[in-house]
Amino acid sequence: MMRSVLPRMTRSFATTTTTTTLSTKQAPQLDEFRTREQNAASHGPATIARFYTVPVDVRKQIFAHGGLPKSFEKQVKTFNECALMVRRPAVEIMEYLRRTDFTRPVNRFVLYGEDGAGKSLTLAHLLHYGFQQRYVLVHVPWVPNWMKRAKETANSSTVEGAIDLPLDGAAWLVHFKSQNAPLLAELGLTVSRDYVWTKRETTPAGAPLLDLVEHGINRAKFSCDAIAALLQELKQHSSAGRTRTLVLIDGFNAFFQPYTRLLTENKARITPDQITLTKPFLGITRNDWTNGACIVTIDRMVAEFAKTTGATAKTRDGIAALSEPAVTVVDTRECFEHLDPFVPVRVDGYDDTEYYSCIQYYLERKWIQTTEPGFEDELKMLSCQNPYQLMQLSASL
Closest CA to 83 of 112, 47, 130: 47
Cβ atoms within 10 A of the Cβ of 129, count? 20
Q: What is the pLDDT along the chain (397 residues), one digit of tens a residue?
A: 344 443 443 433 344 333 333 333 333 345 688 998 889 999 999 999 999 999 999 999 999 999 999 999 999 999 999 999 999 999 999 999 999 999 999 999 999 999 999 999 999 999 999 999 999 999 999 999 999 989 999 999 899 989 999 999 999 999 999 999 999 999 999 999 999 999 999 999 999 999 999 999 999 999 999 999 999 999 999 999 999 999 999 999 999 999 999 998 888 999 999 999 999 999 999 999 999 999 999 998 887 644 443 334 444 444 444 444 444 566 678 999 999 999 999 999 999 999 999 999 999 998 888 778 888 889 999 999 999 999 999 887 6
Q: What is the DSSP string of 124-193?
A: HHHHHHHHHTTPEEEEES-THHHHH--S--EE-SSSTT-EE-HHHHHHHHHHHHHHHHHHHHHHT-B-SS
Domains of the chain: 102-312+325-347 (3.40.50), 349-396 (no CATH)
Distance CA(259)–CA(256), nearest Å, equals 9
Distance CA(85)–CA(34), nearest Å, equals 9
- Residues sharing a CB contact under 8 Å with residue 35, sequence separation 6 or more, in sequence order: 43, 47, 50, 51, 52, 86
Closest CA to 343 of 111, 140, 121: 111
* Alpha-carbon radius of gyration of the chain: 26
Q: Give the C-alpha distances (Å, rounded to integers) separating 145 from 206, 224, 228, 284, 285.
A: 34, 15, 19, 19, 19
Edge-to-edge strand list for the sheet holding 136-140? 136-140, 245-249, 292-297, 107-112, 343-346
Distance CA(176)–CA(115), nearest Å, equals 27
Length of the chain: 397
Cβ atoms within 10 A of the Cβ of 21, count? 9
Distance CA(270)–CA(89), nearest Å, equals 35
Tell me the H-state helices in the chain.
Answer: 2-24, 56-62, 70-79, 88-98, 119-132, 144-148, 166-187, 209-218, 223-239, 278-284, 333-339, 352-364, 375-383, 387-394
Amino acid at 175: H
Q: Give the C-alpha distances (Å, rounded to integers) separating 34 from 123, 173, 242.
A: 20, 35, 37
- Residues sharing a CB contact under 8 Å with residue 364, sequence separation 6 or more, in sequence order: 31, 33
What pLDDT score was predicted for residue 44? 93
What pLDDT score was predicted for residue 151? 94
The answer to whether the CB of 314 falls within 8 A of the CB of 303 is no
- Residues sharing a CB contact under 8 Å with residue 326, sequence separation 6 or more, in sequence order: 112, 113, 114, 115, 117, 300
Q: How would you classify the pairing of strands 136-140 and 245-249? A: parallel
The answer to whether the CB of 74 falls within 8 A of the CB of 42 is no
